[in-house]
């Protein structure tokens, strides 16, 4: 009877165990205890631990006692010569023009797991610490994906300044390479040229050179590192160490380079494999890569079955097919604004709840929202299509 009761409540335990049984994902007491009946040796494989980088690269504000935050955006003003005897009451053209950008907070994002007390007692590794880390990774991944999609949207938008007789710069798209081939996204020389084009475009639009960054797909990043001997992106004295460390490229044209699996890349996250032409990369799938690169972000528009009420994003981050030719981002921190009502937190049950269920729920939560702020500060790298053409480039 006790065994039957356990089988009926397997949804409360902390995940299936691959113990060599007929059912690899079974979650019975026997399958879980196979982990505990022998001494642990070696390292605990933690899976993918993706770098969380977006939070410090954009304009972030804390939201309290409200559902949204207003960002004031001002355009440029002109100078003019003073006419003797004339009152000075501000420029005659009414400058500077002002616009507002309002960013709302998305619904609460959560990730949780139940830790059975007996499992924790018998385990010889830090079960709670490991689960907490995985919950943190899940929240961080979603956070980065929303930020990077907002940057991509900014690169395709016009300025929020709409005052008559004022023309403020909008976002920029730059094609990597000169052909309509998706494989150009991995050509080091083409990437370097795109960086210099992007730097020039940002300069021409009056964007500050402070805080300029780029985020590339990991394979793009490593292609650049392998080519440092010929493209001069790294000092010869530190080339060996940097190549081995995977951090060889510090910056191009004053733009610091990061790598991430969370940028929108040919309609996916991470790497798109195979294919040719406009949306093909020609990269061979190494196999057993998992499915996390194709997961949605909990956005109602992206859910195949439609997310229920209360599980949605308020801000529109776009559907996957809107990024079919996107292959990198270059931006300055003013490109996107982010509001955080609840920063990444971990909560754990205790007291009577723990007694009733003989275990604890570990919960991670996050409430934030992001949207384009200054489009002029955002550049989207694309491949396989000319800039500003094609339905897939519009939102």
Could you tell me the CA-to-CA distances from 230 to 68, 186, 196, 222 in Å, in that order?
49, 16, 17, 14
Of 84-88, 285-289, 309-313, the range with the lowest mean pLDDT is 309-313
What integer pLDDT is reported at residue 33 of this predicted model? Answer: 62
Neighbours of 281 (CB within 10 A): 25
Of 13-22, 118-127, 280-289, the range with the lowest mean pLDDT is 13-22
Average pLDDT estimate for 159-177: 86
Query: E strands of the chain, at which residues?
Result: 59-62, 68-74, 98-104, 109-116, 172-175, 212-216, 251-252, 255-259, 264-265, 268-269, 326-332, 336-348, 359-372, 378-382
| DSSP secondary structure, 129-182, as one string | HHHHHHHHHHHHHHHHHHHHHHHHHHHTPPPS---TT------EEEESSSSS-G
Report percent pLDDT > 90 for the chain.
23
pLDDT digits (tens, 9 = 90+) for 201-230: 999 999 999 999 999 998 998 888 777 655
Neighbours of 284 (CB within 10 A): 8
Residues with Cβ within 8 Å of 107's Cβ and at least 6 positions away in sequence, in order, are: 310, 311, 312, 313, 314, 367
Q: How many helices (H) and strands (E) does the chain have?
A: 9, 14
Could you tell me the CA-to-CA distances from 363 to 19, 65, 118, 128, 157 in Å, in that order?
27, 23, 19, 11, 37
Report the first-to-last Cα separation within the chain, whole angstroms. Answer: 57
Dihedral in degrees, nearest 10, Cα atoms 380, 385, 389, 393: -50
What integer pLDDT is reported at residue 252 of this predicted model? Answer: 86
What integer pLDDT is reported at residue 229 of this predicted model? Answer: 59
Q: Confidence class of residue 304 from pLDDT cuts 50, 70 and 90?
A: very low
For the ranges 79-83, 141-145, 222-226, the maximum mean pLDDT occurs at 141-145
Average pLDDT estimate for 353-377: 88
What integer pLDDT is reported at residue 203 of this predicted model? Answer: 96
For the ranges 144-148, 267-271, 299-303, the maximum mean pLDDT occurs at 144-148
Burial 139-164 (b: 16+ CB within 10 A, else e): bbbbbbbbbbbbbbbbbbbebbbeee
Dihedral in degrees, nearest 10, Cα atoms 299, 305, 310, 312: 10
* Residues linked to residue 70 through DSSP beta bridges, in sequence order: 102
Statement: residue 41 has pLDDT above 70: no
279, two tokens: 């949306």
Of 107-111, 135-139, 200-204, the range with the lowest mean pLDDT is 135-139
What integer pLDDT is reported at residue 311 of this predicted model? Answer: 46
What integer pLDDT is reported at residue 154 of this predicted model? Answer: 93
pLDDT digits (tens, 9 = 90+) for 247-297: 546 778 889 888 888 999 988 887 888 887 777 888 888 888 777 776 656
281, two tokens: 């990369």
For the ranges 26-40, 152-166, 201-215, the maximum mean pLDDT occurs at 201-215
pLDDT digits (tens, 9 = 90+) for 89-105: 776 666 777 888 889 99
What is the C-alpha separation between 98 and 75, in angstroms, rounded? 6
* Sequence spans of domains, the chain: 56-74+96-285+292-390
Statement: residue 300 has pLDDT above 70: no
**Where do we find the tokens 């929240």?**
139
Cis peptide before 69 (omega within 30 of 0): no
Spatial contact of 370 and 312, defined as CB atoms under 8 Å apart: no
Mean pLDDT of the chain: 77
Statement: residue 61 has pLDDT above 80: yes
pTM here is 0.81
Phi, psi of 302 (to 5 degrees): -100, -10
**Where do we find the tokens 């385990």?**
123
Statement: residue 301 has pLDDT above 90: no
24, two tokens: 């690899």
Average pLDDT estimate for 9-34: 57
User: Coil, strand, or helix at residue 10?
Assistant: helix
What integer pLDDT is reported at residue 153 of this predicted model? Answer: 93
């Amino acid at each position: 009877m006790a065994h039957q009761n356990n089988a009926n409540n397997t949804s409360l335990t902390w995940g299936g165990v691959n113990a060599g049984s007929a059912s690899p994902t079974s979650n019975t007491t026997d399958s879980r205890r196979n982990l505990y009946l022998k001494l642990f040796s070696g390292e605990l494989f933690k899976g993918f631990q993706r770098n969380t980088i977006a939070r410090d690269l954009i304009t972030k504000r804390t939201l309290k006692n409200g559902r949204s935050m207003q960002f004031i955006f001002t355009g440029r003003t002109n100078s003019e010569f003073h006419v003797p005897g004339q009152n000075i009451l501000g420029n005659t053209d009414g400058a500077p023009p002002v616009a507002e950008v309002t960013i709302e907070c998305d619904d609460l994002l959560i990730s949780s797991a139940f830790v059975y007390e007996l499992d924790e007692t018998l385990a010889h590794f830090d079960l709670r610490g490991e689960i907490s880390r995985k919950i943190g990774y899940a929240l961080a991944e979603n956070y980065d994906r929303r930020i990077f999609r907002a940057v991509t949207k900014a690169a395709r938008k016009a300025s929020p300044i709409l005052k008559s007789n004022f023309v403020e710069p909008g976002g920029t798209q730059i094609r990597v390479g000169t052909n309509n081939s998706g494989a150009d996204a991995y050509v080091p020389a083409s990437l370097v040229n795109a960086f210099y084009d992007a730097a020039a475009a940002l300069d021409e639009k009056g964007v500050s050179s402070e805080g300029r960054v780029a985020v590339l797909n990991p394979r793009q990043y490593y292609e650049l590192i392998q080519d440092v001997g010929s493209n001069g992106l790294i000092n010869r004295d530190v080339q060996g160490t940097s190549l081995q460390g995977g951090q060889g490229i510090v910056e191009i044209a004053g733009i610091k380079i990061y790598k991430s699996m969370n940028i929108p890349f040919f309609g996916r996250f991470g790497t798109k494999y195979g294919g040719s032409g406009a949306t093909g990369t020609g990269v061979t799938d190494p196999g057993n890569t998992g499915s996390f690169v194709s997961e949605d972000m909990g956005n109602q528009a992206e859910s195949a079955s439609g997310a229920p009420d209360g599980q949605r994003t308020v801000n529109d981050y776009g559907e996957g097919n809107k990024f079919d030719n996107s292959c990198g981002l270059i931006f300055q921190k003013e490109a996107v604004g982010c509001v955080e009502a609840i920063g990444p937190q971990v909560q754990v049950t205790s007291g009577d709840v723990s007694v009733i269920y003989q275990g604890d729920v570990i919960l991670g939560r996050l409430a934030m929202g992001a949207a384009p702020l200054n489009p002029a500060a955002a550049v989207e790298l694309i491949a396989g299509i000319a800039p500003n053409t094609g339905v897939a480039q519009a939102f």
